[in-house]
Structure formats: C-alpha cells, structure tokens
Structure 1
Amino acid sequence: MTVHRSGSPHRSRPPATAAGILFTVLSLVLGLSGSAAAQDAAGKGAQEPTHPGLDWAGSQIAAHEGTAAEGAPTRGLLAGVEGVDVSGHQGNVAWATLWSSGVKFAYVKATESTSYVNPYFAQQYNGSYSAGMIRGAYHFATPDTSSGAAQANYFVDHGGGWSKDGKTLPGALDMEYNPYGATCYGLSASGLVNWMKDWFSTYKARTGRDAVIYTSTDWWKQCTGNYAGFGSINPLWVPRYGSSVGELPAGWGFHTIWQYTSTGPTVGDHNKFNGAYDRLQALANG
C-alpha cells in the first residue's frame, strides 16, 4: 500500500473532451471581445499630447471648419453677457483691459489628458477673478490617452474644482477634433459617449456640479452619431464663427454659451452667455 505523506492523493487530469475544448475557445473569444469593448470605452492608450500648449477651445474647430464666416453676433444676442476663453498660448492676459471693454466672464484652460497643466493658469484664473469676472476652468479632452475618470480627476486636482462663491463656473469639457490623429480619437460613437459619461460622472462626484460641454455640431454628428443624451443635463458651449449660432447638436434646445469669434480684441476667442448677468450668476451658484 502506498502512503501519501501530505496533501490529497494525486489525481490525473481528465482527458480533454470536444465540449471542453469548445467551451475554452468560446471563453477566449468572448474575453477578447470584452477587452476590446472596454478598451474602446476607456481610451486606447495613445501617446501623451506632444503640443498641448497649441490646443485650446476652438483651435481644431478653426482648423477643420474654418473662420471665413466670422462676424458680429446678431443684434438679438448683443444683450448677452460678453466673455472670453484663454489658454497657455496667450501667456499673461491683460484682465483689466478686458474688464474695461465689457468682458464679464472667462473660461481658462487648466489641463489636457493627464500630463499637461497650463503654466499660466494661476495668472489667468486668479487674474480674471481679481478683475471682477466670473470664471471657470476647462479640460481639453484626449479620449485615446486615458479613461474619462482619470482625466476628470486630473482636471479637478489641477484647477478644475468648483466652489459656491458666486464667481466660479462649473468646469467645462472640451470635445473637439483630435489634434494628433484620427478625428474621433479612434473610438466608436458609443465608445466616445461612454468616455464622456465616465468623465461627467466623475466630475460630478468630485464637485457636485454637472459640467459644461464645449463642442461643435459638425464634430458631434460625426463622432457621436449626434447623441442626444446630454442635452437635459450638461449646459452647451458651442463654437460657430459667424453671425448666428446655427444648428445645435441633438438633445439641446438652446445653447448656454456661444463662442462667436476667434479674432476678438485683446484676446481672440470671445463668447456670449445666452442670458442676462443674473442668469450667469445662477449658473455659477448652481
């Protein structure tokens, strides 16, 4: 009689059956499909941006959609509140000059992907506030470099937070043409939508606010299939360089902010808030 000194008796592996082999193959195929879907939703791990200082709200809109139609807003929108948006490529901004010209709010680029912080953010974000403006921060999205959650957290950790002080707008997510390659970042429409959902839900969990979204109608149609699910939640900041705001992306019955020119005085990108000043204050206060 053979005695085993420890553990259970040795048992030989049962021979492989046709059903077992089929199950293994199916498991591998389904596993690979699931991994691909998860990768599509979370970003495909492209290289980090190489020229983030040249990427700002509208930089790719102008490049892809042009600025030939630029002009003054229609008279009906002149009652809106004047604003600007700035980023690192403008350096130190003359906020007193802008304030004197009638600019009352500003959006400042804070971050891009999870590797870039605007080196002029403090001067621009705090300077606009000190001049008397209501200001907010925005994030330039690169959905192929990391997940929506990772980029939302990076944004909040580097200037994109929110406080109920009456002078801070909710953060904005800049979704536009990819400056580094495939227009839609190599993601499917559902992949991009899920990436944004991830970003928005993380931002709200961190700040308590629903973020603004910056995007153009043409890009939105091309890259999200004209998804309509954000319109009732996230305020729309839409670029169109012309005499009217034009067609809006699906889901939005009205815009909140219109970036109407990239060639304004002092700072190129000028915006109109679609409402009176007290409504801008209401947006800031949540």
Structure 2
Amino acid sequence: MARDRTPSRRRVALLAAATAVLALAGPRTAAAGPPAALAGSGAAASGPPAALAGLPRGHDVSSHQERVDWDAVRSLGARFVYVKATESTDYRNPYFGRQYGGAHEAGLIRGAYHFARPDRSSGARQAAFFLRHGGRGRADGRTLPPALDIEYNPYDEHHKCYGLNRTRMVRWIRSFTDEVRRETGRDPVVYTTAHWWRACTGDSHDFARDTALWIASHGTPDPGELPGGWRDWTFWQYGTEGALPGDQNLFNGSPDRLRALAHGRGPRGD
C-alpha cells in the first residue's frame, strides 16, 4: 500500500533529541541511533504546556495519518493543520487531496508543507515541484503560507546536513524560499530545530526578517532558545502524540492573528 516514505516524525524527533544530548558530551564520529533510554522520554506530549494552553491548537499530518475524522478533530479544539504535500521532486503524499480538502470542509485553517531533500536537487527545483502539487495556497483567510520542513536527514543519520556545508545549505534554503515567494507572493514558513539550524546553517540569521519560524522542541515547557536571529516563533511543534492526529502544535497569537496570517499578513498581523 502506498505510504509516506519518510520515517515517522516521532523517529526524527527522537533522533534530534539524541543528537542534542550527545552533542553536550562532546564531538562524536558516528551516531548509532537514539539511545533506548530516550524512547518515549519527553518526545511526546498529551496536551499543550499549561502556561500556553490558551493559544490556538493545531497539528500536522502526513500519509502516516491516512484517514482523519476532521469534524472530530475540530471538536477536540484544533483550529489549524499543516499537511505534507511533497518530498524532493519525486514524492507526493497520496492522501494529500483528501486530507487538505477534509480539513477545509471542517472549518480548519490549513496549509501545505514540503519535506526538504537538499541532497537530491536544488531548492528552487523542489519548491517548483511543491507548488505544482499542493503548495500554492492562496491568501484567502483559510490557507496558511507554504512551509518548508528542513531537519535531520531521516535516511542517513551520519549525514544530518545532507552532505552540504553551511554556506551551501543557506543558499539551498534561500533558493527554495525565494522561489515560493516569487511564485505565490507569500512569505513562507520554515520548520526546523534549533540544534539542526546551528549545526547545518551555522545559525544563519538570513531568514529571520522575512520568514516565519515553525520551531520543533518536544517535551519542554516552552520552545527554548530560538535559532538564527528569530526573536519569536510563529508555530511550535511541542509533541508527537496527543489528542490530535499527528504532531501537536500551537500558534503564537490570537485566533484573529491566525486568520490574518491566512489572509497574507505577517504572523504579528502586520
């Protein structure tokens, strides 16, 4: 049966957590995978952190969540969702249309994201593929900006930066975001972790002024230190398990600000 070839976001989250923990102990030459002791420790969350529980809740899904009862999701408190559309230039989520349309019909604000493979082709080429296959969302008040998911390489843990040095990685990301902006007129969203961003872009500040941040930080009371000059986060993926299908997220603002973002204004409503 067709399925998302990307390993579950839970596995990627655990790999990220393991890498961050091992990094504190000093350099290493190879990764053997996340230690068994980390499995299930802090990567999941049953609900939003208490201090931020009033923020709009959402989630993100891929083909791992083939069938979603969108009306039930909304009744559980979801107000937005990001749906995986594409990966590299040769993979399309086979359930994207059903998921994206179902979310819209249930009244959720929805958006599409692309899983980056910088080792496969240029950022501009992958952006063009993404936009042809679900990523071209209009600023209609119901559609979030296109999002780039760039994180640890789930296919080769020895090459977490996909074989690119920091300068080339920054150019790759800029190539992707510029193509999205040129074709849609919208400022895209970048999903990443602070640790990966530091390791693979040198903590580049090149994107903080014109790209919204979707930060992944699991099992913590807040997102923690932000990467690359960003002063604030727009979305926070705080856990991989919870009441909503897929990963659990919050939007950093009021419901009106969330709608403003879907109307094409900035994350702070400007």
Short-chain TM bin: 0.7 to 0.9
Out of 81, 96, 101, the residue aligned to residue 121 of structure 1 is 96
Give the deviation of 1:54 after TM superposition: 2.9
Deviations 1:221-258 (Å, cap 9, x if unpaired)? 11111111111110000111122211110210010000
User: Where does the alignment leave 5 or more consecutive residues of structure 2 unmatched?
Assistant: 19-39, 265-270
Q: TM-score, normalised by structure 1?
A: 0.79
The structure with the larger Rg is 1
CA distance in 2, matches of 1:231, 1:88: 30
CA distance in 1, matches of 2:166, 2:131: 26
CA distance in 1, matches of 2:117, 2:12: 13
Deviations 1:99-143 (Å, cap 9, x if unpaired)? 000101000000000000000001110100100000000000000
Give the deviation of 1:75 after TM superposition: 2.9
Q: TM-score, normalised by structure 2?
A: 0.83
- Residue 128 of structure 1 aligns to a residue whose secondary structure is helix
Out of 2, 16, 21, the residue aligned to residue 64 of structure 1 is 16
Task: Find the counterpart in structure 1 of residue 181 from structure 2.
Answer: 204
Residues 1:221 and 2:198 aligned together = yes
- Counterpart AA for 1:225: G
CA distance in 2, matches of 1:196, 1:278: 30
Task: Find the counterpart in structure 2 of residue 97 from structure 1.
Answer: 72
Contact between 1:162 and 1:171, CA under 8 Å: does it hold in 2? Answer: yes
Aligned length: 236
Out of 231, 235, 241, the residue aligned to residue 253 of structure 1 is 231
Structure (1/2) with the larger helix percentage: 1
Give the deviation of 1:74 after TM superposition: 3.2
- Counterpart AA for 2:250: K
Give the deviation of 1:56 after TM superposition: 5.8
RMSD value, Cα: 1.6
Deviations 1:195-220 (Å, cap 9, x if unpaired)? 00000111111100110000000111
Contact between 2:119 and 2:163, CA under 8 Å: does it hold in 1? Answer: yes
Give the deviation of 1:78 after TM superposition: 1.2
- Residue 201 of structure 1 aligns to a residue whose secondary structure is helix
User: Where does the alignment leave 5 or more consecutive residues of structure 1 unmatched?
Assistant: 1-50
Out of 44, 51, 54, the residue aligned to residue 6 of structure 2 is 54
CA distance in 1, matches of 2:50, 2:231: 20
Task: Find the counterpart in structure 2 of residue 7 from structure 1.
Answer: none
For residues 209 and 136 of structure 1, do their structure 2 counterparts lie closer, same or farther at Cα, with a shift above 3 Å needed? same
Task: Find the counterpart in structure 1 of residue 61 from structure 2.
Answer: 86
- Residue 5 of structure 2 aligns to a residue whose secondary structure is helix
Out of 96, 111, 114, the residue aligned to residue 139 of structure 1 is 114
Contact between 2:103 and 2:110, CA under 8 Å: does it hold in 1? Answer: yes
Identity %: 47
Residues 1:154 and 2:129 aligned together = yes
Residues 1:265 and 2:238 aligned together = no
CA distance in 1, matches of 2:89, 2:9: 17
- Residue 125 of structure 2 aligns to a residue whose secondary structure is helix
